Amino acid sequence: MKGKATDYLAQFQATGALLDGHFLLSSGLHSPRYLQCALVLQYPKIAEAMCADLAERVRQLEPQVVLAPALGGIVLAYELARALGVRGIFGERKEGKMVLRRGFRLTPGERVLLAEDVITTGGSLRELYPLVEAAGAQVVCIAALVDRSSEEKRPDFGATLESLICLSVPTYAPEVCPLCKKGLPLVKPGSRETLGGGKAK
């Protein structure tokens, strides 16, 4: 990892956003490392600089709106939209289904940039696709602060993926997780809730 990516990773480390332990990811997988992007994005100057860089990488695709999943993608969508001079909106889950609320909408033919703080399996981003398709809009690019998907399991979104950092971090299905076998407490990031016993409840 060279250049700016190294600098950005150093900012994650300096702000305590790169955590070590035993974590339950939103995908249901377990991991020994977790990137808590909220801890780095709480600093407006850092958030502005990171998103300005990311915006320049996708500007030539001429996105007209940035769409991200709540909650983690809200700040990212706003800062990317600000750097690109377009709208920034977010989807929310209602009764387990991703929807647009608060008067947000997409229009037919609108060029959409999907944004996420960290990509592992890409599940949250995939939930946004039906919203784009239902509106007759078009996904032109995916933007992420961190792509931590393994190369052999990288999600295929059918669109270009741009990220500031590519970080190889192992993930495990709960039934084969070596951290569980060691009895290390399982933590649900964000809430800092310890699920106990090395097993998800």
User: Residue 6 has what pLDDT?
Assistant: 67
Closest by CA position to 68, among listed 128, 130, 108: 128
User: Residue 196 has what pLDDT?
Assistant: 55
User: Residue 99 has what pLDDT?
Assistant: 92
User: Residue 42 has what pLDDT?
Assistant: 94
User: Residue 199 has what pLDDT?
Assistant: 42
Query: How do the pLDDT tens digits run along the chain, 201 residues long?
Result: 345 766 898 999 999 999 899 999 888 889 998 888 999 999 999 999 999 999 999 999 999 999 999 988 999 999 999 999 999 999 999 988 999 999 999 999 999 999 999 887 788 889 999 999 999 999 999 999 998 875 556 667 788 899 999 888 888 999 999 999 999 999 987 644 555 554 433
Closest by CA position to 49, among listed 19, 12, 70, 80: 80
- Taking a C-beta distance cutoff of 8 angstroms, is the pair 99, 92 a contact? yes
Please state, as a whole number, how many other Cβ atoms lie within 10 Å of the Cβ of residue 71: 13
Q: Give, rounded to a whole angstrom, the gap between the first and last alpha carbons of the chain.
A: 36
Distance CA 95, CA 30 (A): 25
Distance CA 106, CA 86 (A): 13
Distance CA 58, CA 74 (A): 18
Structure-block tokens of residue 158: 């059918």
User: Residue 159 has what pLDDT?
Assistant: 87
Kindly report, residue by residue over 95-148, the tens digit of the pLDDT: 889 999 999 999 999 999 999 998 877 888 899 999 999 999 999 999 999 988
Structure-block tokens of residue 3: 């250049």
Structure-block tokens of residue 114: 């999907």
Q: Where on the phi/psi map is residue 197: left (φ > 0), alpha (ψ -120 to 50), or beta? A: left
Closest by CA position to 96, among listed 56, 115, 123: 123
Structure-block tokens of residue 179: 């951290």
* Residue linked to tokens 């950005």: 8
User: Residue 158 has what pLDDT?
Assistant: 80
Q: Does the bond joining 71 to the residue before it have cis omega, within 30 degrees of 0?
A: yes
Domains of the chain: 4-194 (3.40.50.2020)
